[in-house]
Amino acid sequence: MRKIKDLPKKERPREKLLEKGSHSLNDKELLAVILGKGTQKLDVLSIAKKIIKIIDQKGLELSPDDLLNIEGIGEAKAALVLAAFEFIRRRIKPEGLKIKFPADVLPLIQHFADRKQEHFLCVSINGANEVMNVRVVSIGLINKSHVHPREVFADVITERASAIIIAHNHPVGELQPSKKDIEVTNRINEAGKILGINLLDHIIFNNKDYYSFAENEKL
């Protein structure tokens, strides 16, 4: 992995942000700007990559211990990340977002569109149709993500969510669901009926567009 000092100045995260705007940075670069610098052993981009993996898994339940267990993260950096996380959460918080249509969750997951591997996501929703959390359930090879209902519903049950929306990015290829996508959707839908947790939609998305099972009457 190329270190920041090896990058041309205009490609370094901080300089890139100031010149082109924050929207031009990927998740790893944005977090690198927040962290500021790495350690003697690890470049800041390497540390940012490790943190993003944990954030993807934990969502809003990110804790100090989650960060302190990462090599290169001490109390100062952990506090900085958690403070930034909470500051933004209070202003653009998903649990305040009320879902009128399943596709309303796209702004919360769109940043996964450029991931090179397929990320299978679960958005938990309460009885007031408000988003409670967004989690990565599994990460697979390109166009392959093995998902089991128990992985989808484990945290959702704990949260006492009343509904979910599942989604995954398509790194390559068309957005039309594959046979496997349909099988996974049906399996999760049936499990949800048993648990009393409604599956509102399965969204397949990339940087340009999305496919909704609900909008295409496949649920």
User: Domain boundaries in the chain?
Assistant: 4-91, 95-212
Tell me the pLDDT of the chain averaged across its residues: 84
Lowest-pLDDT choice from 45-54, 135-144, 161-170: 135-144
Q: How far is CA 44 from CA 9, 77, 192, in A?
A: 15, 11, 41
The pLDDT of residue 123 is: 93
Q: Which residue has the higher pLDDT, 88 or 154?
A: 154
Please give the CATH number for the structural domain made up of 95-212. 3.40.140.10
Tokens 């390497």, residue located? 46
Strands 198-205 and 163-169: parallel
% of the chain beyond a pLDDT of 70: 90
Alpha helices in 95-173 (DSSP H): 106-109, 149-159
Residue 142 has pLDDT above 80, yes or no: no
d(CA 102, CA 198): 12
What single-letter DSSP state applies at residue 177?
A: P
Q: Do residues 207 and 172 lie in contact, with contact meaning Cβ atoms separated by under 8 Å?
A: no
pLDDT at 85: 77
pLDDT band at 125 (very low <50, low <70, confident <90, very high): very high
Determine what percent of the chain is predicted with pLDDT higher than 90.
25
pLDDT for 117 beyond 70: yes
Instruction: Inform me whether the pLDDT recorded for 74 exceeds 50.
Output: yes
